[in-house]
Amino acid sequence: MEGKIYIINYLVCVFDVYLMYDFVSYYEGVKSNFEKRYSRICIILLTALAVFGVNLLNNTVINLCFTLIMNLLFICLVMNGSSLQKFTHFLIVLAVQYGGEFLTTIIFGSSLETGLLHPEYNGLFAVIIMKLVMFVLFTIIKQIVPKEENKLDAGTFIMFMTVPVASLGIMFSIGCLDIDFAIMPLKRGILLAFYIMLMGGNALVYYAFQRYGITQQKIHLQKKMIAEQKIELRHYQQVENINRRNAEFHHDMCHYLKVIGNLAEADQNKEILSILNQLQVEFSEAQKNFYCSNAIINTILNEESEEAKAKKLSFDIYVEPGFHTGNVLEADLVSILGNLYKNAEEAAVKCDRGFIRIQMFMQNEGKFAVIKFENSFTGELLQEGDHFLTTKEEKSDHGIGVERVKELAERYHGRLIQTIDGRVFQSVLVLAI
């Protein structure tokens, strides 16, 4: 009997040390020596063995002092970061450990003395309950102050929390059933074993939920990257097409001039006039509007103008003389203008008289560059807070383009503002120059 109790006590110590390791490694990470699974398992098992050995002394003062020293040494040995960060984590771990015990004693103290298990097991049962409460407290702390890439969304976190809350409820509910386990030692042991499994299962379920959240975020980031690359590829292809057409026109001009010279020598003026008329048509087709001195912006606006005309959209562009984007990278400009135009076009083409208006100008004595898109839309737009929800059939691509523009705006200390004015949707991008 005592052997089983020792094993269970040691496993509880292992779980306790694992909770501390998981917490201190969450924000700053662990030292390179403990990144490998073998090293991680060894340090947790050895630390738990030391704590278990001191617990066998049954001396409250020694246990308290040793726990404080062991926790601090463990955190300093394992955790990355400055001394202040390590000490802060040490204080938080202590607060959770003793706070969990205090919370369990205050709320469920009477339930732990109802004779649920054999007297030899009652203390162990209370410890298991406390460790599960600690697990819940650590989980809540990591959710409230998360690393951004590891944060579960609110819905997923609420779904997960039903598991530990239900586990605590089951444990305490059984204690209130007044079942006499004294005459059923085998069932008593089985129940305790399942309690331990339940405690470990809660940790595994949280790990699974966390992995799921990280995977979903990676998938979302990959979709954003793919969408951005498609936009950039499309515009770079447009630039390449313009350069190719211009090169072809200039190449053909040499042949035209040679033919015109030969016709002039033969005094064939009508043929010369015919060729010149054809050249005028080709020249007008090759000629592009000049909107601003930035070649990338100018090219993109010309291509967007052609796309709008092909889709029978009214398209109006105004670029203020002297407009510039400062140190904004060309690739970022391509992504910004491409995503804003694509969103405007998708809404405008659904209207009978769809239109897109673009304005670019400077504000605050040239300290800010403003890019404003206006487009018509039909139907009702769904709004959630400051965000407009997609009306696309493919919901998985919701808001990827807009999110990308917002990210780029933040990179350049700017902001994207989207509003509705009647049946006109407005997207105003402000960039600090």
Q: In this predicted structure, what is the pLDDT of residue 382?
A: 67
The region that residue 46 occupies, defined by phi over 0 for left and psi between -120 and 50 for alpha, beta otherwise, is: alpha
Overall pTM > 0.75: no
- Report if residue 428 sits inside a domain: yes
Q: Is residue 201 part of a domain?
A: yes
Is the residue at 208 inside a domain? yes
Q: Would you give the DSSP letter of residue 375?
A: E
- 307 and 409 in a common domain: yes
pLDDT digits (tens, 9 = 90+) for 218-254: 777 777 677 667 766 666 666 677 667 667 766 667 7
Q: How confident is the model at residue 296 (pLDDT cuts 50, 70, 90)?
A: confident
Look at residue 156 and tell me if it is in a domain.
yes
Q: Do 221 and 293 belong together in one domain?
A: no
SS3 36: coil
DSSP characters over 46-80: HHHHHHHHHHTT--HHHHHHHHHHHHHHHHHHHB-
Q: Is 266 a member of any domain? A: no
- Same domain membership, residue 295 and residue 221: no
**Structural domain of 414:** 289-432
Q: What is the pLDDT of residues 348-365, one digit of tens each?
A: 999 988 999 999 999 988
Is a pLDDT exceeding 80 seen at residue 25? yes
Structure tokens at 402: 């807009």
Residue 37, pLDDT score: 83
Q: What would the pLDDT profile of 161-185 be if each residue is shown by its tens digit?
A: 676 677 666 666 665 555 555 556 6
In a domain, 405, yes or no: yes
Domain co-membership, 205 together with 62: yes
Give residue 116's pLDDT. Answer: 45
Is 232 a member of any domain?
Answer: no
Tally the domains of the chain.
2
Q: Give the lowest-confidence range in 70-74, 94-98, 278-282.
A: 278-282
Angle, CA 133 vertex, CA 127 and CA 134 arms, to 5°: 90
Question: In the predicted model, is pLDDT for residue 70 greater than 60?
Answer: yes
Residue 88 lies in a domain: yes
Together in a domain, 88 and 205: yes
pLDDT score, position 395: 47
The number of residues in the chain equals 433
The CATH number linked to 339 is: 3.30.565.10
Least confident of 10-14, 107-111, 194-198, 291-295: 107-111
Q: Which of 203, 226, 249 is the last residue of a domain?
A: 226
> Higher confidence at residue 91 or residue 233?
91
Q: How far apart are CA 67 and CA 62, in angstroms?
A: 8
Beta-carbon-side half-sphere exposure of residue 78 (alpha carbons within 13 Å): 30
- The mean pLDDT value of the chain amounts to 77
Contact 8, 124 (CB under 8 A): yes
Count H helices, E strands: the chain? Answer: 11, 7
Does the pLDDT value for residue 150 go beyond 80?
A: no
By DSSP bridging, strand 383-384 and strand 387-388 are antiparallel
Instruction: Say whether both 303 and 221 belong to one domain.
Output: no
- Predicted local distance difference test score (pLDDT) of residue 39: 87
How many Å is the Cα radius of gyration of the chain?
35
Please indicate, yes or no, whether residues 204 and 302 belong to a single structural domain of this protein.
no
**β 368-376/355-363 pair status:** antiparallel
Check pLDDT > 90 for residue 369: yes
Tokens of 54: 């001191």
Same domain membership, residue 298 and residue 174: no
pLDDT above 70 coverage of the chain, percent: 65
Residue 429 has a pLDDT of: 95
* 116 and 27 co-located in one domain: yes
Check whether residue 57 and residue 175 sit in a common domain. Answer: yes
Q: Which of 45-54, 155-164, 257-266, 360-369 has the lowest average pLDDT?
A: 155-164
Task: Tell me which of 162 and 24 has the higher pLDDT.
Answer: 24
